Amino acid sequence: MDNKIAVIGLGYVGIPLAVEFGKKIETIGLDINSHRINELRKGYDRTLEMDESDLKSSTHLTFTESIEDTKDCNIFIITVPTPINSKNLPDLTPLILSSKSVGSVLKKGDIVIYESTVYPGVTEEECVPILEDVSGLTFNKDFFCGYSPERINPGDKERTLTKILKITSGSNPETAKVVDDLYKTIIKAGTYMASSIKVAEAAKVIENTQRDVNIALVNELALIFDTMGISSQEVLDAAGTKWNFLPFKPGLVGGHCIGVDPYYLTYKAEKMGYKPNLILSSRQINNGMSAFIAKKTIKYLVDKNKNIKDSNILIMGLTFKENCPDIRNTKVIDIIEELNDFGCKVDVYDPWVDKEEEKKTYKSGIINDPFKSDKKYSAIIVAVAHDQFKTIKNHSYQEISDGELILIDIKGIVEKPTWKL
């Protein structure tokens, strides 16, 4: 029997996957957002991961918002978000709901593959019981599961889906091979078959945990060197001349992965009776950087005898990383909130962000190009290293300043900043 694939969830992870499979195999892309489905049918992907030509090239791909349209599929790939709640605990709601939906159309012989980042055990201990309960089928007898963690890097046009080696796994050896062979049809970089689903889950969750811990180290170093009046970047440049010094830089840690995934691992570790002090401390350090930057800005306002209350502050960039429209879990918002608490009036400019989409999420209000406005600012914070911002010269910032220029550079892209992280 020929495979027919359903990709459940068409965000940053799901849409590239659906497009690639749709070039070779009959594929249905499902998303519960009807507006999203209508846009994709018209050839528009608001994540900007796929352009119109990419979507048109996927000749075997169709879109739907109804799970009933996937009942003839035999492979279901679930790519929904796995966020955290306000207490930094895993929120498996999207995963649970999508598992229930797939369970309602699951048949004997079908395979369900999860790509969402989770802690070890979620697929077999949380999702499988739901699939069994809803479908009435028996796991590893009537249906099977796989896990192949996503490694999408939003906005990266070089390391795209097919060029990133893919970890695969299955609930038994036969399923593991089927899953591995399936991904080999689209992944040019090759695959790595993990020994079990739990190993694959653990591998994914530590990828971003490792980055988070390393960034926390250089963030703490930046805090230390700031108290000493030493440039952290100059220190890192000097230390980087040694062959085995890792090239991490200080900064904000947000987004859908690095600032979220470690909490999945720490949650499971604590459930098992182990306190992951290093990982939790790293999260605390990284989460505190926004407040540090905001307070640094306030200090310069005081030093330059500028008013704090009702002062106009401009923030350049809102997305969690450069050159993409993704604002999920962006820590720039924390800077805004901290400055608001001081009584400042904050404007945000980001040419990458959809204004209407931003209003639904944060309601901070994206302004038009500030360099074409008469408004003046007491301080300017360059928070995101968009390519458009790298060409802006100091004299342009001075022209929109209300006096002596206060220019805070978080990303190291400004020629002569007042202060640089």
**Residues marked as catalytic:** 257
Q: Which amino acid is at 214?
A: N
| Cα separations in angstroms, 98 against 23, 88, 113 | 24, 22, 12
**C-alpha to C-alpha distance for 215 and 221, rounded to whole angstroms:** 10
C-alpha 66, offset from chain centre: 26
Q: How far is CA 219 from CA 215, 235, 236, 254, 416, in A?
A: 6, 13, 11, 14, 21
Could you please report the per-residue DSSP string of 165-178?
A: -EEE-BSSHHHHHH
Query: Residues 192, 111, 103, 154: is their CA dihedral positive or negative?
Result: positive
Three-class SS of residue 10?
coil
Return the closest-CA partner of residue 169 out of 97, 207, 120, 99.
120
Cβ neighbours for 269, distance < 8 A, ≥ 6 positions apart: 275, 276, 279
How many Cβ atoms sit within 10 Å of the Cβ of residue 28?
24
Alpha-carbon distance 124 to 133, whole Å?
A: 13
Both tokens of residue 121? Answer: 């055990």
